[in-house]
Chains A and B, each alone.
Chain A
Amino acid sequence: MGHMQTLSRRAFVFGSAAVAGGIAFGAYGNAEAAAPGADGNPLAAGLGANSVTFNPWVEISPDKITLIAQHADIGQGVGSVQPIMIAEEMDLDPGQFEIRFAGPSPAYFNTGFADEFAPFVAADQSPAAEEARAKTLEWLRQSGLQMTGGSSTIPDTYDKLRVAGAVARETLKAAAAKRSGVAVADLRTQSGHVILPNGTKIAYVDLSADAARIPPVLDAQPRDPSKWRMLGKPMMRLDVRSKVMGELKFGIDLKMEGMLYASVKLNPNKGQPLKSYDASKARAMPGVKKILEIKNGVAVIATNSWYAMKAVDAIACEWAPSVYPAEQADHWKVLESSFKPEFLGKEWRKIGDIEAGLKTGTRVEAEYRAPYVAHQPLEPLNGIGLVTDKGMEIWVGHQSPRFVQYVAATAIGLKPEQVTFHNQWTGGSFGHRLEYENVRVLAEIANQMKGTPIKLVFSREEDFLQDIPRQIAIARHRGSVDKSKIVAADLQLASTTPLKGLLERSGTPSQDPDGQLAAGLWNVYYDIPNFRATSYEAQGLSPSTTWRSVGASTSGFFTESFIDELIHAAGLDPMKARIAMCTVPHYRKVLETVAEMSDWKGPLGNGRGRGVAFVESFGTPTAEVVEVTVTPEGIRIDKVWVAVDVGKVVDPVNFENQVQGGVIWGLGHAINCELTYAKGAVQQTNYNHHEAMRIYQCPVIEVRGLENDPKVRGVGEPPVPPAAPALANAIFAATGKRIREMPFNKFIDFV
């Protein structure tokens, strides 16, 4: 991946003039990407006889149609909506095609990161912002960054998959025209067939050989959304039935001939090696085939996962100590002392005269904290690896196929192209399957077990211990109010760096300030005349990584809690003040919508309270109202209203499910989750220590999707950031108590 190192983001966005042509790949240029030359289409290499591929997403053989899901399915439903976007244009029905996850290829670079990576806030649609995004897009194309994340699947694929489907449809029609002698204009398509004027139907699969012999029709246009049969309407996710019937095979369910099972015990001092071990007990345990030493721990090979887990548990290990502070209290101390010029990440935004503004009117100051948190999707990390003299094959659910190749290859001295990666359906991720703990050790284990397929399953405890957590952060916010107006807000935070950490572990280190520390901090759309947003990057703490909604998961809480405090100090209504201050008309509409949905009329009284929060993350403005009641057993969350503007809702049922799930994720972890270090290891090793929300705490959640944004946006993460501050603000409204630190249950009881 050296080419990515040489193209650092800063060098590209701010320095390079060598990429002026990059703007050509806008939405209008997608036909070109949808049908590159054969060398640019990874499907061309594996194509069978009489088969055709028009672009990296469509493959037709005489017996079946296969649509490629470029983005990994981590439960968010993109294993369904991606092929449906193609099928919509191809006039295919569910059941008429197979779905396959994409292999590693630069052809699958993610265009959807252009907005998030360019240094402009999402609502800024100025020519300068768009030019920077176009340049970022060109960098993405050149780097071939293939990654699922950042709520980017729909922004990335909305145009290109529909174009890919349209190209396939028109090329199939051209093939049918050539065969039948009927003009293309007289042909139509329906349900997997080209239909001639006399009613004769030619199945697409019967046209594969003919279509392979003609050039693809590159000027095909996707249809207007008003013509959609499936998209934009309530539709059935393609994976629902097989999941309900227990038939869908997750990565952890795969089995191979001659396979053995592995479990590992790794140094809980993250990133540090094994010093010594004693496996004498484990060797004699049932089912055990072999004990292996790997770089940062030990592995047991057994005839069954449980035997492997039990035996690995019986191995006594001596570990190299952590390079970060062994005790949690010292992590907080490092953060507290990181608000210094030498740790400056970046001053992201400065408006007006902040020092003068702070001297005007009444000063408000507050400190907020957010702890390390684990991802812990319910399917533990796992994978199957097979190393032979030729290379390695790996079956694992992951969000970054090319980085899997790089990490596995690097671990055992192969070249990335010697690693064959097969992506799998996964039981959740939330950012966990962007990391490589399972990939690296699986490569090491399989390399020591050459010729035997090895299935690695992490025990839940090991998964917790190795979970690279969400960033830890402290915010020190200052502001002032005068004459019922917020006149200044100086937002500062010190945090570990999630994105920088991930990029480094992916083999593409960046020296730039971590842009995720700006998320939720600088993209504040209130009319505050004196404003500053600054990040400090704490050094020497636990590695951190992207956790559902990343930087905004902590900054959103800090910012919207503080805005609420300022509004309160100004004597204003939290909802009316936000609406009045919002400077972006269609964002204001999001707030107005949630006010209307919740019938917001000010304080409720009688031990009840409502809080509101608004955060734009990944370009998607989201407003939430949380309503709580004080009961003898603690705070009860009664109801949540959510308004989200994604520009276009392509899969409405799944959209609602994603939004509700995001709210539950945000609320649950804010209430009761944290990871704390002791002796260099996290103390929470199963769900009883890190529970998040269970059904008994789950409120009714009402969702409305808006379509006013000029761009099509994602929704996997944006519902998360407003949940915690809306809850904290509701608790304040009900009790008068401000909670400025997560998890909230350290300060107040919940039902």
Chain B
Amino acid sequence: MIELTVNGIKHRVDVVPEMPLLWVLRDELGITSPKYGCGVAQCGACTVHINGKAVRSCQAHIGEVAGKSVVTLEGLEKREQHPVLQAWIEHQVPQCGYCQTGQIMQAISLLDLISNPTDDEINQVMSGNLCRCGTYPRIRAAIHAAAAKKMAEK
């Protein structure tokens, strides 16, 4: 049995320690916002926060995650009012939407590091998140809008 905390709730799972966190979340705990896209950290669709940092959950073995705090998009504080999610809705970023939960988790992490990123800084941090539908212009616009919202809140 491995114990882990996801979105503030403790879970015990009976899986091998090599199992990636992604599959524990999806198949064992039924938390489906982290998506399986590539399995090799090439797409970013599985991005979650571990101890506050954006991590590809397909690369984090559950044995190493034990005892750490995992937050998925479902567990974001004040999710309905979250400036990044609000900006994503206002700019209607998603097409198919499959990559967007990962994009959002990465963008939140970006804005925690750089409060008002330039396009170049957005490119650097967001280039690990693949969007096959091509919503990049909207992702950029939404990140700028979210940065402005966050600064207005302060």
Which residues of A are interface residues toward B (Cβ below 8 A)? 74-77, 236-237, 239-241, 243-246, 248-250, 252-253, 255, 261, 286-287, 304-307, 309, 376-380, 426-428, 430, 457, 459-461, 653-654, 657-658, 660-665, 668, 686-688, 691-696, 698, 700-701
The complex places the Cα of A691 from the Cα of B74 at a distance, in Å, of 29
By size class, the interface of chain B is: 35 or more
Contacts of B28 in A (CB 8 A): 304
Contact between A378 and B42 (Cβ–Cβ < 8 Å)?
Answer: no
Contact between B27 and A246 (Cβ–Cβ < 8 Å)?
Answer: no
Shortest CB-to-CB span from A138 to chain B, Å, is 34
Shortest CB-to-CB span from A687 to chain B, Å, is 4
- Counting chain B CB atoms within 10 Å of each CB, the highest count among A244, A306, A307, A660 belongs to A244
Contacts of A246 in B (CB 8 A): 32-33, 72-74, 101
Shortest CB-to-CB span from B17 to chain A, Å, is 11
Contacts of B123 in A (CB 8 A): 695-696
The complex places the Cα of A253 from the Cα of B32 at a distance, in Å, of 6
From A309, A430, A461, A695, give the contact of B136 (CB < 8 A).
Answer: A695
Shortest CB-to-CB span from B75 to chain A, Å, is 10
Which residues of B are interface residues toward A (Cβ below 8 A)? 15-16, 19-20, 22-23, 26-28, 30, 32-33, 35-40, 42-43, 45, 72-74, 79-80, 85, 88-89, 92-101, 104, 122-124, 126-127, 129-140
From A241, A460, A700, give the contact of B37 (CB < 8 A).
Answer: A460
Contacts of A693 in B (CB 8 A): 134, 136
Q: List 20 A-B contacts (CB under 8 A).
A: A75-B95, A244-B89, A244-B100, A245-B80, A250-B98, A287-B15, A305-B36, A378-B35, A378-B37, A379-B96, A379-B98, A380-B37, A660-B135, A661-B95, A661-B133, A662-B134, A687-B42, A687-B43, A687-B130, A694-B136
Shortest CB-to-CB span from A459 to chain B, Å, is 7
From A241, A427, A661, A695, give the contact of B126 (CB < 8 A).
Answer: A695
The complex places the Cα of A252 from the Cα of B101 at a distance, in Å, of 15
- Counting chain A CB atoms within 10 Å of each CB, the highest count among B33, B42, B100, B137 belongs to B137
A380-B36, A688-B40 known; 13 new pairs, CB 8 Å cut-off, are A77-B95, A243-B100, A244-B85, A304-B23, A304-B27, A378-B132, A380-B37, A461-B39, A664-B136, A686-B38, A695-B122, A696-B127, A701-B137
Contacts of B85 in A (CB 8 A): 244-245
Chain B residue with Cβ nearest A250: B98
Known A-B contacts A693-B134, A694-B127, A698-B137; the reply to A74 vs B36 at CB < 8 A is: no
Contact between B19 and A306 (Cβ–Cβ < 8 Å)?
Answer: yes
Contacts of A664 in B (CB 8 A): 134, 136
The complex places the Cα of A162 from the Cα of B20 at a distance, in Å, of 48
Contacts of A253 in B (CB 8 A): 26, 32
Contact between A304 and B15 (Cβ–Cβ < 8 Å)?
Answer: yes
Contact between A657 and B96 (Cβ–Cβ < 8 Å)?
Answer: no
The complex places the Cα of A701 from the Cα of B134 at a distance, in Å, of 11
The complex places the Cα of A519 from the Cα of B36 at a distance, in Å, of 35
Contact between A663 and B134 (Cβ–Cβ < 8 Å)?
Answer: yes
Contact between B23 and A657 (Cβ–Cβ < 8 Å)?
Answer: no
Contact between B19 and A378 (Cβ–Cβ < 8 Å)?
Answer: no
Shortest CB-to-CB span from B151 to chain A, Å, is 21
Contact between B133 and A653 (Cβ–Cβ < 8 Å)?
Answer: no
The complex places the Cα of A268 from the Cα of B100 at a distance, in Å, of 31
- Counting chain A CB atoms within 10 Å of each CB, the highest count among B22, B37, B92, B129 belongs to B92
- Counting chain A CB atoms within 10 Å of each CB, the highest count among B93, B94, B130 belongs to B94
The complex places the Cα of A661 from the Cα of B43 at a distance, in Å, of 17
Contacts of B93 in A (CB 8 A): 240, 244
The complex places the Cα of A427 from the Cα of B36 at a distance, in Å, of 11
Known A-B contacts A660-B134, A698-B137; the reply to A377 vs B23 at CB < 8 A is: no
The complex places the Cα of A664 from the Cα of B137 at a distance, in Å, of 10
Contacts of A662 in B (CB 8 A): 134
- Counting chain B CB atoms within 10 Å of each CB, the highest count among A248, A306, A379 belongs to A306
Q: How many A-B residue pairs have CB under 8 A?
A: 172
- Counting chain B CB atoms within 10 Å of each CB, the highest count among A250, A695, A696 belongs to A695
Contact between A695 and B129 (Cβ–Cβ < 8 Å)?
Answer: yes
Shortest CB-to-CB span from A464 to chain B, Å, is 10
Contacts of B23 in A (CB 8 A): 304-306
Contact between A241 and B89 (Cβ–Cβ < 8 Å)?
Answer: yes
The complex places the Cα of A503 from the Cα of B27 at a distance, in Å, of 36
The complex places the Cα of A706 from the Cα of B101 at a distance, in Å, of 33
Contacts of B22 in A (CB 8 A): 306
Known A-B contacts A246-B101, A695-B123; the reply to A653 vs B35 at CB < 8 A is: no
Contact between A305 and B97 (Cβ–Cβ < 8 Å)?
Answer: no
From A309, A428, A461, give the contact of B96 (CB < 8 A).
Answer: A428
The complex places the Cα of A658 from the Cα of B135 at a distance, in Å, of 9
Shortest CB-to-CB span from A738 to chain B, Å, is 26
The complex places the Cα of A271 from the Cα of B15 at a distance, in Å, of 36
Contacts of B37 in A (CB 8 A): 378-380, 460, 687
Contact between A305 and B98 (Cβ–Cβ < 8 Å)?
Answer: no
Contacts of A686 in B (CB 8 A): 38-40, 42
The complex places the Cα of A261 from the Cα of B22 at a distance, in Å, of 15
The complex places the Cα of A657 from the Cα of B126 at a distance, in Å, of 19
- Counting chain A CB atoms within 10 Å of each CB, the highest count among B88, B123, B132 belongs to B132
Chain B residue with Cβ nearest A688: B42
Sorted nearest first, the 10 A-B pairs with minimum C-beta distance are: A75-B96, A427-B98, A664-B134, A246-B33, A243-B97, A661-B134, A306-B23, A696-B123, A698-B136, A253-B32
The complex places the Cα of A661 from the Cα of B97 at a distance, in Å, of 13
Known A-B contacts A76-B95, A661-B95; the reply to A377 vs B132 at CB < 8 A is: yes
Contacts of B73 in A (CB 8 A): 245-246
Contact between A236 and B130 (Cβ–Cβ < 8 Å)?
Answer: no
Shortest CB-to-CB span from B137 to chain A, Å, is 5
Shortest CB-to-CB span from A182 to chain B, Å, is 41
Contacts of A76 in B (CB 8 A): 95
Contact between A427 and B79 (Cβ–Cβ < 8 Å)?
Answer: no
Contact between B33 and A661 (Cβ–Cβ < 8 Å)?
Answer: no
- Counting chain B CB atoms within 10 Å of each CB, the highest count among A245, A309, A660 belongs to A245
Shortest CB-to-CB span from B82 to chain A, Å, is 10
Contacts of B40 in A (CB 8 A): 460, 686, 688
From A250, A304, A376, A460, give the contact of B19 (CB < 8 A).
Answer: A304
Contacts of B130 in A (CB 8 A): 378, 687, 691-692, 694
The complex places the Cα of A244 from the Cα of B101 at a distance, in Å, of 6
Chain A residue with Cβ nearest B75: A246
From B72, B88, B137, give the contact of A660 (CB < 8 A).
Answer: B137
The complex places the Cα of A287 from the Cα of B132 at a distance, in Å, of 32
Shortest CB-to-CB span from A213 to chain B, Å, is 41
The complex places the Cα of A701 from the Cα of B137 at a distance, in Å, of 8
Chain A residue with Cβ nearest B95: A75
Contacts of B89 in A (CB 8 A): 236, 240-241, 244
The complex places the Cα of A508 from the Cα of B54 at a distance, in Å, of 48
Contact between B43 and A378 (Cβ–Cβ < 8 Å)?
Answer: yes
